[in-house]
Chains A and B, each alone.
Chain A
């Protein structure tokens, strides 16, 4: 079995706001193996992006702060590194792509300038070498007329092209891990498919691990090896992708799968999970999904369910399954 490239151990990232403490990431543990694609799924505000930004140590502070836990990346605890050591990891060993291609590139610098920056910084290339490598990267992400693109500014490119440039920038130093934070959410469907294809191809070529953050279960089914489901700052279920789709355990995961439209099945209305995500401020110690769950028991409102694995390595945090393994 491949070695773990990243391991989140009891990560806690809190935001200290005027209304109270928001536990955006509350005791999250999971790991990503070398060359594996892990999808982190959940609705908006459940802590997916904050988990990824914690790994990059890019949490705005204040108000955000990583208050506990460890993130082991390639044998090192990210949270204990100096700023200079962290900078050598960012963009070099971990690349990151963001959701908004329209605003993620600097409007006053040329594409070439922005692409060459990490190459000259991390790979110590000369301007000439970096230029050639940047052109190669642009071709690699499937954009024609690379020389012309090099001297263009971001506003001259379409959204899809900009996201390709972001990908080129993120993979330029051959990172061991690529984080893609909802890379296709802002793009239209045909472009989405192209970008996902590109990500899959590059992942194979470069043998990178991919941490893909999304709320689209279609993307999960297509891309993931392993799935982590998050809800209100906690991991509530994780399993290999086939196992999760075949045998979802947590009522929330089941709800998500039920809410997904299926081709060929006519429905008046799509299923929705009743209720909404709880206000994340000062949550107590109980199952956060208990308000919306159709199987809620007394214990759900009183105690946090433990996160336990079954014999197939399928982990879930739900009182419904507690006791099953105790037998």
Chain B
């Protein structure tokens, strides 16, 4: 097992190098740079702009810039964010945990609701519940997040005033302890609802399809022939098999916990990393954007390895000897 993990980690080095080159190139080749974006000011002379570029190191040829950036990354230095004038690490650290909070809540509700709907739909295939659930799920599934987000915002925050319009805490408040937690929770409801409703559709279809596939299997008939209760047949014999392919899906969702939700965070003015990175793209704050993207890349690669390890633990047929 240890050997397997070490091998997979070593194998991921070339992947990481390749990914870093692509990410760097895409960002560097996009038109405009920090200087043109930041000082769009008619009084700025071309000479002054060149000076500034030299200062930020933007005048060097691409390979040299890449190597310098990659070298810094290897030493664990992501550089300073041009926009925040602070180390990228500390900018990410300031915002990523707010996104993580949203992400964890969304993931929890998404998996909870999707599993209930999916399993029930499969067990009662073509029932009234299955038909209605399928219809509603596809409707939600096909809505873009900015639309659903704005609709929820209009009804529940503006008209009904049940929930705050945006932000993470009430402006000007200085709650502590339980009151603070409740305040944040109240602000979380709408963004979490938006993203959960949109993502629950796809996942519940996976649950339904996998369960339907498993229920047809011979060993389910064997389990029934033993006289087991339907509940035991479904939850012990069928669900364990249906969950196997979902392990991969679950693990690969882990990086997205940290990635933030650019559009939804923007709509609800949530101080998350997604919103900040979106801004970083606008102003061409390349150290921040590259640092963030590399972080997600590393997390994705690690999640892949984790998926393989977990699959091996859950499925005796691929268990590593």
Contact = CB atoms under 8 A, between A and B. Distances in A.
Interface string B222-238: 11111111100000110
A167 interface: no
B59 interface: no
Contact of B222 (A88, A92, A98): A98
A117 B226 contact: yes
Contacts of A166: 222
A107 B238 CA distance: 11
Contacts of B227: 87-92, 118, 121-122
Interface stretch (B114-122, B142-150, B310-318): B310-318
Contacts of A91: 225-228
B226 A108 contact: no
A58 interface: yes
Nearest to B240: A108
A105 B219 contact: yes
A109 B218 contact: no
A100 B218 contact: yes
A170 B223 CA distance: 11
Interface string A67-108: 000000000000000010001111110011010100111111
A87 B221 CA distance: 13
Interface in B217-259: 217-219, 221-230, 236-237, 240-241, 244
Contacts of A58: 221, 224-225
A108 B314 contact: yes
A106 B223 contact: yes
Interface residues of A, number: 29
B306 to A, nearest CB: 20
B240 A104 contact: no
A88 B227 CA distance: 6
Interface in B106-158: none
Given A153-B316, A153-B317, A106 B219 contact: yes
B216 to A, nearest CB: 9
A155 B316 contact: yes
A213 B240 CA distance: 32
A98 B226 CA distance: 12
Contacts, number: 73
A104 B228 contact: no
Interface string A37-59: 00000000000000000001010
B221 A98 contact: yes
A118 B237 CA distance: 13
A161 interface: no
A169 interface: yes
A317 to B, nearest CB: 31
B234 to A, nearest CB: 13
Nearest to A179: B225
Nearest to B224: A58
A90 B241 contact: no
Contacts of B223: 106, 117
A153 B317 CA distance: 8
Nearest to B216: A60
Contacts of B224: 58, 90
Contacts of B241: 106-108
Nearest to B223: A106
B52 to A, nearest CB: 62
A169 B237 CA distance: 16
Interface in A269-309: none
Interface string A105-132: 1111100000001100110000000000
Contacts of B225: 56, 58, 90-91, 95-96, 98, 170
A5 B49 CA distance: 98
Contacts of A105: 219, 222
Given A56-B225, A90-B224, A107-B241, 9 more contacts: A89-B227, A98-B222, A100-B218, A103-B219, A104-B222, A106-B237, A109-B240, A121-B226, A155-B317
24 contacts: A58-B225, A90-B224, A90-B225, A90-B226, A91-B227, A98-B221, A98-B222, A104-B218, A104-B219, A104-B222, A105-B222, A106-B237, A106-B240, A108-B240, A108-B241, A108-B244, A108-B316, A117-B223, A117-B228, A118-B227, A121-B227, A121-B228, A169-B222, A170-B225
Interface of B: 217-219, 221-230, 236-237, 240-241, 244, 314-317
Listed from nearest, the 9 A-B pairs whose CB atoms lie closest are A91-B227, A90-B227, A91-B226, A153-B316, A103-B218, A106-B219, A87-B227, A96-B225, A104-B218
